[in-house]
Amino acid sequence: MHAQRSGKTKSTRPEYDVIVIGTGMGGSAAGAISALNGLKTLILEKNPTPGGSCSYYKKEGFHVDTGTHLFIRGNKGPFGVCTRRLGLGEPLQFLHTDPITHLRGFNIDLAFPASWLRVPLALLQFVYQADIPLSEYPAISRMFMDILTMKPARIDELGTVSIEAFIQSYTHNPQVLTLIGYLMGLYFILPAWEASAGESIWNIQHMIKDLNLGYPKGGCVTIPTTFLKGARNHGAELRLKAGVKRIEVVNGRARGVELENGEKISARAVISTSSLKDTVFKLTGQELFPAAYRDKIRSVKPSMTATQAKIGVRKKLIKAGSLVGGWPIKMSRHLNEDQMKKNYHVIETGHVGELVPVYVPVPSNYDPELAPEGQQILTVVAVAPTLETDYIDPEQVWVERMMDAIHNLVPGLKENTIFCDIWSVTTLAGWIGKDNGSAITTGQSTEQVGLLRPPHETPVEGLFMAGDCAGPARGVGTELACQSGMDCADLVARNLKLGILN
């Protein structure tokens, strides 16, 4: 029988070693690794289902993702590291498609094949459609060769250089800048002049090296739920519908949390995977942090976000694993790069732009069991600013523009739609518990990569940040968040065991 309680009351002994707030990629990884490290861990999720932006719901026989994701490293990246550390081996199965993606936008309309034999033809088509002058080929080839062979030290250097600046060191051709800049920045939902070249190159190298652009069997949600299973195997507890109202801080030290229902739970450390701003200003109380830290947090730039549509389709209208591009497809042939910039600036001020950039993973093309036989589920995003921007055009207008774009990009979609769930930015913000609704709360811009990203520790002792908001991890959003979650959990475990945190 377990040891008899000492005479001490509950309040003098923390109930848990670690409380993790959130079961998104960051929270589920942090909770799992925390439990693996032998710490008594409680994981709290405000929603009725876990996963955050990697959660799901069922509708009319479809498995519908709450977010919009593809993954680039499969089990060779942090997901595999996490499941192997948890003693689960590699239960996640990452599936692939052929064609890989369909690019429709920026004057291009072509499918990228998965088989190496068909790639040269696709590349020729690409070059023809993009109408890039012959004189640019040497520079472009050189750029891609450099990307593929770049050494880690140089990648680090390019961390603080924008994608735009990087491309411009090879060519100033507007088509190349627009198109390649858009594609390289797609990982980050940031425009080419803000996103980090080093981060993008790192992703490209891993994507090509690991040849693993894919999507997990069973849906995105299998990733956090597998971590949570590992967490449970190591004694962690999970509570759903347990939103955190406040993080309790006593004498500059985080002591636990208070739930929405008033229940208080004590712990030696708290790991928050909400955003920095939400954690500091909403959950804790800004007066508990030094002014310099508060200012730093306020200046953290989030990635852009998107309006989303989840569309159940009667027929398989898209053959590739995803569709990426924008509407209208045709742009001025001799595109001035300023047009792209102008479009973004318009978007950033809260107006819909003329061009609607669109990205549509098709989960059921990867795993047919996610949709009824012969049918298809589309997860559509159209870039939109975060709620830190005042929306001049109301959200409804943004939604209409997105639907117009997707109906044009996918002929036959309107007639074959079984259902269409709209996720406005506000809806997303509510689900993931981050007031600004950003996709990656600390965007991977040139000032916020690697060691320049906010650290896991906060000025409040015992309060840590993990996930897409903090930590020097890199990669695409979900994989970065997972790595960050693991890193933070290991850091907290080390601090607790070494007595740095008692």
Q: Contact positions toward other proteins, by CB under 8 A?
A: 1-3, 5, 10, 13-17, 37-40, 48-50, 56-58, 63, 87-89, 217-219, 221-222, 225-226, 228-229, 232-235, 237-241, 267-268, 369, 497
| φ, ψ dihedrals at 105, nearest 5° | 160, 165
Smallest separation (angstroms) from other proteins to the CB of 207: 25
DSSP for residue 130: H
Q: Which two tokens stand for residue 395?
A: 């959200």
First CA to last CA distance, the chain:
27
Smallest separation (angstroms) from other proteins to the CB of 283: 22
User: What percent of the chain is helix, strand and coil (3-state, nearest 5)?
Assistant: 40, 20, 40
Q: Which helix (H) or strand (E) holds 382?
A: strand 376-384
Q: Which of 275, 236, 282, 237 has its CA nearest to residue 258?
A: 282
Q: Closer CB to other proteins, residue 260 or residue 388?
A: 260
Q: Closer CB to other proteins, residue 200 or residue 225?
A: 225
- Ordered alpha helix ranges (H), 211-336: 222-233, 276-277, 291-299
Q: Closer CB to other proteins, residue 48 or residue 411?
A: 48
| φ, ψ dihedrals at 88, nearest 5° | -100, 0
Smallest separation (angstroms) from other proteins to the CB of 150: 36
* Alpha-carbon dihedral sign for residues 28, 30, 31, 37: positive
Residues in the chain: 502
Q: Closer CB to other proteins, residue 237 or residue 393?
A: 237
In this structure, the number of other CB atoms found within 10 A of the CB of residue 166 comes to: 23
Smallest separation (angstroms) from other proteins to the CB of 487: 20
Instruction: Mark residue 475 as left, alpha or beta (left: phi above 0; alpha: psi -120 to 50; beta: remaining).
Output: left
Q: Which helix (H) or strand (E) holds 112?
A: strand 108-112
Smallest separation (angstroms) from other proteins to the CB of 70: 18
User: What is the Cα–Cα distance from 217 to 215, expressed in whole angstroms?
Assistant: 7
User: Is residue 433 within 8 Å of 274, Cβ to Cβ?
Assistant: yes
Smallest separation (angstroms) from other proteins to the CB of 194: 36
User: Is residue 79 within 8 Å of 92, Cβ to Cβ?
Assistant: yes
- Within 8 A by CB and 6+ apart from 360, the residues are 68, 318, 322, 323, 324, 378, 379, 380, 381, 406, 409, 410
Smallest separation (angstroms) from other proteins to the CB of 15: 4
Q: Closer CB to other proteins, residue 28 or residue 444?
A: 28
Q: Closer CB to other proteins, residue 99 or residue 219?
A: 219
Smallest separation (angstroms) from other proteins to the CB of 95: 13
Q: Closer CB to other proteins, residue 85 or residue 407?
A: 85
Smallest separation (angstroms) from other proteins to the CB of 94: 14
Q: Closer CB to other proteins, residue 80 or residue 113?
A: 80
User: What is the Cα–Cα distance from 285 to 252, expressed in whole angstroms?
Assistant: 12
Q: Closer CB to other proteins, residue 140 or residue 240?
A: 240
Q: Closer CB to other proteins, residue 152 or residue 235?
A: 235
Smallest separation (angstroms) from other proteins to the CB of 302: 29
